[in-house]
Structure 1
């Protein structure tokens, strides 16, 4: 398998297909679960934002949204296993794209219409965005790579509508330029943010840029499985990256899984009054909860603009 510039196996081919079936077939085999583990934390942040601001139907910008996975999980109250079954089983391979879209629209009408949130997706994959929009998982989309170019006026307006910003694995492919563009899109109002970031990617520089923009960032307790390594070569490359960064992989990546940390960034006024409560683990995969509970948290050096 070919490795990309980050040292991870390249899975570009599953993000650019007309529908999500190759995406879910590939990632189910790798035990991909980070959207499921992120779901209760995102739901808790939405609840907190509603209480703090009075906004009843917040707009959520999902960076690296692909086919609208986080939007489907949160709006339709599904699990990642539900989506694996939805797209991989029950004869889904025998159907065409129009049938899949019709079924997903029915799903949104029956389970997502009263979710009380609106999703906008930001992604560099046009086919993935097109599917998520057509299915109804997204209410808006920004097809852009903000690491290489500034958003157009129309894209900036779509981004500026965001009340919250989330991501589950895109940091490392996107960085300071993207998140700075998102944070400053409105000009006055700043969205709250929550990013799940693989341990192989530092977040300090991004947090520093956000601090310059008026944010305070905290790393929440816990580590979260993303997926299994796709090959021994991928694992070896990632272990080398962690070693160079001074991150101890024992009991974690050394045992065959990517792990992520959760960073929450709020405008300073909101951060000063926020009370952080751990999200309920009810939706978490039991084996992952057990691993998390047994992990001895290792001390980390955190920059002054990060709160722990």
Structure 2
């Protein structure tokens, strides 16, 4: 994992240590965090394609580093990041907020044919996801450094789609549990070396592509130091900075892996 990937993972972990997403949205919303939003069309198209390929509507999605379940809110309820963040503009007591959010999501149209399994070591965040109905099951084992339990194996098996945020070791352990290769969608940071990730995906009988190689805004820089360090890392790799989204933002480029036809 590159230094910036490690930095992003550490930031995610730090923001997901509370039973409610106040700190998560309070920190990321002002930075215009947008990865779930610009991935909406790609995610929707992938779900439709997988349903066509599998010949069934019911699919299992495994979301690595799922946090509070933002991707599930998008997939199952059509709630974007900004809409989710609006729920947390003012403080609420934990029990009241969870009940409110559970009712909020239950009142929205829901894709009943999607099962979302969240993988995250933050039990506070995944506990929220389970309590509000965003996540159908969770795996809290640190799969980057340890093997899955029998319960984990059962929860992760038979995945149709894996959302790959986090380390390659976690992804490799999840893919090794599958009988039929799932599709994988990831958002590597622009400038991150993806050779190890691509090797992992191809080793599990997946065809890898980059639907859009243009650096896409993930979020604004949190500090001037972060901006300077990111630009330095890009210039060392002779990647474009001036005039690109990376001049103003931490960026990602989607990476898609599909089972061999």
Q: TM over 0.5: same fold?
A: yes
Aligned to 1:304: none
Give the Cα separation in 2 of the matches to 1:208 and 1:4. 20
* RMSD of aligned Cα (Å): 2.0
Aligned to 1:110: 107
Give the Cα separation in 1 of the matches to 2:7 and 2:243. 20
Aligned to 1:159: 156
TM-score, normalised to structure 1, is 0.78
Q: CA distance change for structure 1 residues 161 and 86 in 2, over 3 Å: closer, same or farther?
A: same
Aligned to 1:73: 74
Shift of 1:14: 1.7
SS at match of 2:219: strand
Q: Is the 8 A contact 2:215 2:244 kept in 1?
A: no
SS at match of 1:19: coil
SS at match of 1:197: coil
Q: CA distance change for structure 1 residues 199 and 75 in 2, over 3 Å: closer, same or farther?
A: same
| TM alignment of 1:1-308, pairs within 5 A | 6-7=6-7, 11=11, 12-88=13-89, 92-93=90-91, 95-167=92-164, 170-171=165-166, 174-175=167-168, 177-186=169-178, 188-221=179-212, 222-252=214-244, 254-269=246-261
Q: Is the 8 A contact 1:199 1:259 kept in 2?
A: yes
Kindly report structure 1 stretches of 4+ aligned residues shifted beyond 6 Å: none
SS at match of 2:129: helix
Shift of 1:195: 0.8
Larger radius of gyration: 1
Give the Cα separation in 2 of the matches to 1:10 and 1:207. 23
Give the Cα separation in 1 of the matches to 2:109 and 2:173. 30
Q: Is the 8 A contact 2:158 2:180 kept in 1?
A: no
Shift of 1:246: 3.1
User: How many pairs were matched up?
Assistant: 257
Q: Is the 8 A contact 1:8 1:238 kept in 2?
A: no
Shift of 1:125: 1.0
Residue deviations 1:234-278, cap 9 Å, x none? 011111222233322222355220111111111223xxxxxxxxx
SS at match of 2:253: strand
